[in-house]
Amino acid sequence: MSTDVRRYIPAVLVGLAVSSSIVLILSLVRVQNVALPPTTKYGMVFDAGSSHTSLFLYQWASDKANDTGVVSQTLSCDVQGPGISNYASNPPKAGESLRSCLEEALKVIPAERHREVPVYLGATAGMRLLSVENESAADQVVSEVTKTLRQYPVNFQGARIITGEEEGAYGWITINYLLNSFTQFSPKHRDWIHPQSAKILGALDLGGASTQISYIPVGPITAQANAATFRLYGYNYTIYTHSYLCYGQNQALKRLSLKLTESAAGQSPVSHPCYPEGYHENTTAASLGGSPCTASPALSPSQAPRQVTLLGTGNATECREAIRRIFNFSACSQSQFCTFDGIYQPPLTGEFFAFSAFYYTFSFLNLTGGQPLAAVEDTVQRFCARSWQDLQSSYPRERAQWLREYCANANYILVLLLDAYKFNQSSWSSIRFQMKAANTDIGWTLGYMLNLSSMIPAEAPEQVRGQPHGLWAAAIFFIVLTLAFCLVGLLIYIL
């Protein structure tokens, strides 16, 4: 072997030794993605309901936009005054009513981030009713709301009236997103995986003007109008969803009072079994019938007296029977796949979250602890039997309007769940009356924002943390270093 070759070999061997040492070190450590500290992102959604408007402010880390369960609720603000549909005669006030809550939310967000914050407004059943009654007035309200929100330094994404089916579906997404039903982080796999044992819950929403039911049935959905399909985290979900306009609790109780007035055949006072004994209220047929929900021939106030006195009698049994009469159960004939008014519904299955007015009414009655149906019915019976004087003295801080209606609302919930949706003694335990999950309010707003901002991907999220690239990186680095040191040895040889 020549002297020149002997000079070259030690240089190569040194290069190989150094590169081998480096590859050994790299093989023992995990190469992590290196990134700048994540910033906090924000999003706002106005829930413009029939009786009031609420603003929800959400936040999440920018490096977790496609994970699940990472969006948290930072603030909720109830807008002062009624829902925006009540400003049909003065649309500019609808926009003005939103200012205080928006300004409160902006105080939470750093000023330099304001212009990037997406802001959405979704109007629900109150505006759907106004659109049926007076479409131009509804358009003007939406226009004024839009005009106001565009005056602020935010990324306003628009205001629109959402359908009842969207409202139900977004509520379903919210619940299952917050409960990690779609995907969850596995410490074992160091990745986001589809939880094999996850429960996909159904959603029961009760508002002032509409109510929604959404769930995944066991069998096929034969009525395509009631089917909604989503692809979330690489899995397809087809849910049954239906919204009943005019069957929210406020509109339902209006229909009940009008029905009782009509049954009284012009006599006054009119006995109202859902109001507490000793309570009386003077009203007019016009106020009871001034809604598309009470404008049908069967509920026409034309035969009712101009003035009427509603006199509470506080009888839960009679109350439930009177409420049943505002539903058209006969339209279903003997079909077991039908609720009322001829509406198709597949058999119930799984667990359900009942939120919004379902929760508020049962929370007041201390019935959100999973009590059996018999205990619930007994509590409602005893509450309805209490006099108006007793209730006022026992709950001095409760608004009189709410206090008079708890008996009616509780019985309405029982009729809706048992007679209409067909829950029974055994399936009652599958309903969880709950308003929050993961410290976030349950409702359609979070699902709406997640959908519009594409924060729930159609495919499974890529593994973005703790990627096991150590060996691959070391091998590549070994090859590069070997070539480099061989080149160095060659230069030594030449020189």
Region for 370 from its dihedrals, namely left if φ exceeds 0, alpha if ψ lies in -120 to 50, beta otherwise: left
Question: What is the reported pLDDT for 297?
Answer: 47
Known catalytic residue at 104? no
Residues 6+ apart with CB under 8 A from 32: 465, 466, 467
Q: Predicted confidence band at 2 (pLDDT cuts at 50, 70, 90)?
A: low
DSSP string, 130-150: HHHH-HHHHHHHHHHHHHHHT
Q: Predicted confidence band at 224 (pLDDT cuts at 50, 70, 90)?
A: confident
Residues 193 and 102: their CA atoms lie apart, in Å, by 37
Query: For 46-60, 62-76, 106-120, 221-235, which range has the lowest pLDDT when averaged over its residues?
Result: 62-76
Inter-residue long-range contacts of 57-64, CB under 8 Å, 24+ positions, other chains counted: 57/105, 57/108, 57/109, 58/440, 58/446, 58/449, 60/455, 62/38, 63/35, 63/38, 63/464, 64/38
Q: Please say whether the dihedral angle defined by the alpha carbons of residues 58, 60, 65 and 71, taken in this order, is positive or negative.
A: negative
Length of the chain: 495
53-61 and 40-48 as β-strands: parallel, antiparallel, unpaired?
antiparallel
Local structure of 280: helix, strand or coil: strand
Residues 195 and 186: their CA atoms lie apart, in Å, by 9
Q: Read off the pLDDT of residues 338-390 as tens digits, 9 standing for 90 and up.
A: 999 999 999 999 999 999 999 999 999 999 999 999 999 999 999 999 999 99
Say which DSSP state 415 is in.
I
Whether the pLDDT of residue 192 is over 80: the answer is no
89 φ, ψ to 5°?
-85, -10
454 φ, ψ to 5°?
55, 35
440-441 and 235-245 as β-strands: parallel, antiparallel, unpaired?
unpaired
Question: What is the reported pLDDT for 359?
Answer: 98
- Residue 386, token pair as written in the block: 């209490």
Global pTM?
A: 0.83
158 closest CA partner among 45, 51, 58, 41: 45
Q: Read off the pLDDT of residues 66-109 as tens digits, 9 standing for 90 and up.
A: 444 478 999 999 999 999 999 999 999 999 999 999 999 999 99
Q: Kindly name the residue from 144, 165, 166, 167 that is annotated as catalytic.
A: 167
Residues 119 and 156: their CA atoms lie apart, in Å, by 5
Question: What is the reported pLDDT for 272?
Answer: 97
Type of residue at 283 = T
DSSP string, 102-129: HHHHHHHS-GGGGGG-EEEEEE-HHHHH
End-to-end CA gap in the chain: 19
Q: Centre a 10 Å sphere on the Cβ of residue 445 and count the other Cβ atoms it contains.
A: 27
- Per-residue burial over 38-47, b if 16 or more Cβ lie within 10 Å, else e, is eeebbbbbbb
Q: Read off the pLDDT of residues 203-214 as tens digits, 9 standing for 90 and up.
A: 999 999 999 999
Residues 258 and 262: their CA atoms lie apart, in Å, by 6
The chain-wide mean pLDDT, for the chain, equals 85
Question: What is the reported pLDDT for 92?
Answer: 98
Q: How far is CA 97 from the centre of its chain?
A: 23
> Is 340 in contact with 332 (CB distance < 8 Å)?
yes
203 closest CA partner among 236, 231, 181, 235: 181
Q: Read off the pLDDT of residues 426-475 as tens digits, 9 standing for 90 and up.
A: 999 999 999 999 899 999 999 999 888 878 777 644 432 233 344 444 44
> Is 22 in contact with 480 (CB distance < 8 Å)?
no
In 313-389, the DSSP E strands lie at 352-356
Residues 293 and 245: their CA atoms lie apart, in Å, by 8
Question: What is the reported pLDDT for 468?
Answer: 39
> Is 38 in contact with 70 (CB distance < 8 Å)?
no
Local structure of 490: helix, strand or coil: helix
